[in-house]
Amino acid sequence: MESDRISCLPDHIIDQILSHLPIKEVGRTSVLSHIWRNKWSTLPDLMFDRQCVPAATSEDPSVSKIKFLRIIDDVLLLHSGPINKVQISAGYDLIDMNSVADINRWILHLTKRSFKKLVLDFWLDEPYKIPCCLFSCQSLHRLELYWCSLKPPTTFEGFRNLKSLHLEQVTMTQDAFEKLISGSPLLEKLKVAYLDGFTQINIHAPNIKCVQIIGKFEGISFDNTPQLAKYLFADVVPVKLPTPCINLTTLQISINFNNLKEISAVLCLLNSSPNLQRFGIYARLEEHADHLSPVSYCWEDIFSEPVMPLKLQRVKIEDISGTKCELDFIRFILLYSPVLEKMTVKPVLNVTSKLMTELIRFRRVSGQVEVIYHVKDSS
């Protein structure tokens, strides 16, 4: 019998097709023919999520939970090929505190295999404590953890092959964080959000290229980061950068325009980023802000003297309400960005046309800049 076209495809193409199907559906392909019988057991990317056990209105929630745990057990036990990625993303209805022993067992099993990517995205009653065995897995290239507690063993010196790290609502000590970063010499991409356990972030990473930091910290410092090319902040930005970011071309921040400390930090970043081309800024209002700025101030006075021309090409400003501080910032950018090509302004709802009128009046040093006033849809 002539083979079908899909069965004749190269293995890596078939793997790519199967990777877009839920694990449960992948398992069903084993009945197609003898060629497909064991395809599922060699799938390199394993995604365990809600699609593994579609919700049934008449089914007892505990039954779905048992099915979900059993599917992961069976797949990991019978998997016979190399594993590239394992992702476990589930809500409380599928994984709870009673599942911790099972999760520990899965991770122990995986550490005996050479796999590259791990994503743990589930939310228990308390942060999941990462087992010590994971810290011995030196094959990891990417690690993504949510709502976890990290306490590396004293012998841990980092992940020597790790290139991407994402930690969100993770609890750990500052020493553990610094050892994790400095002990991962190939680390290129770092994202941390709402970390708990320390307030000062120190990053020592010679190959880091992209850093995204979300949360409130007392200070953020960089040491030996010559490759840094993308630098993102939210909530509070550092007041002063230790060294200029020569490779920084993209920057996104959130700022309270009534906070002089944050304004000074933004200007410090602009002054320390001579090759910055794309700049996104999100206005944030706080009812009780410290270090309130005076009613009127001059951006040029806060900036270094004399003001050096910026190399900004594209600027996006969102959620402004048309205050004088916000308008002064826009005027400053337009006045000192000779190569600016496009500025997009997206105000909050119910902002009067006065803001647009003010924008039209501002002098623009760039003869080619296009200013787009984007009104949000109230619906």
Q: What distance in Å separates the CA atoms of residue 163 and residue 231, rounded to the nearest whole number?
A: 16
pLDDT in tens, 110-129: 999 889 999 999 999 999 99
Alpha-helix runs per DSSP H in 240-353: 260-271, 299-302, 324-335
Residue 108 makes CB contacts below 8 A (sequence gap 6+) with 131, 133
Taking the C-alpha atoms of residue 195 and residue 235, their distance in angstroms, rounded to an integer, is 13
Residue 1's pLDDT is what?
Answer: 47
> Torsion angle of alpha carbons 291, 293, 299, 300, nearest 10°?
-80
Predicted pLDDT at 360: 82
User: What pLDDT, on a 0 to 100 scale, did the predictor assign at position 21?
Assistant: 73
What is the rounded distance in angstroms from the CA atom of residue 138 to the CA atom of residue 168?
21
- The residue count of the chain comes to 379
Query: Cα–Cα distance between 370 and 343 in angstroms, integer?
Result: 6
The pLDDT of residue 163 is 97
Q: What is the pLDDT of residues 219-271, one digit of tens each?
A: 788 888 888 876 666 655 444 566 778 888 998 888 888 887 778 778 888 88
Do 205 and 231 contact (CB within 8 A), yes or no?
no
Residues of the chain below pLDDT 70: 1-9, 24, 26-38, 55-59, 230-242, 286-307, 350-353, 376-379
Q: Please give the structure tokens belonging to residue 327.
A: 């308008």
Residue with tokens 């990625």: 85
* pLDDT given at position 30: 59
Give the per-residue pLDDT at 288: 47
How many other C-beta atoms can be found within 10 angstroms of the C-beta atom of residue 215?
17
Q: What is the pLDDT of residue 221?
A: 83
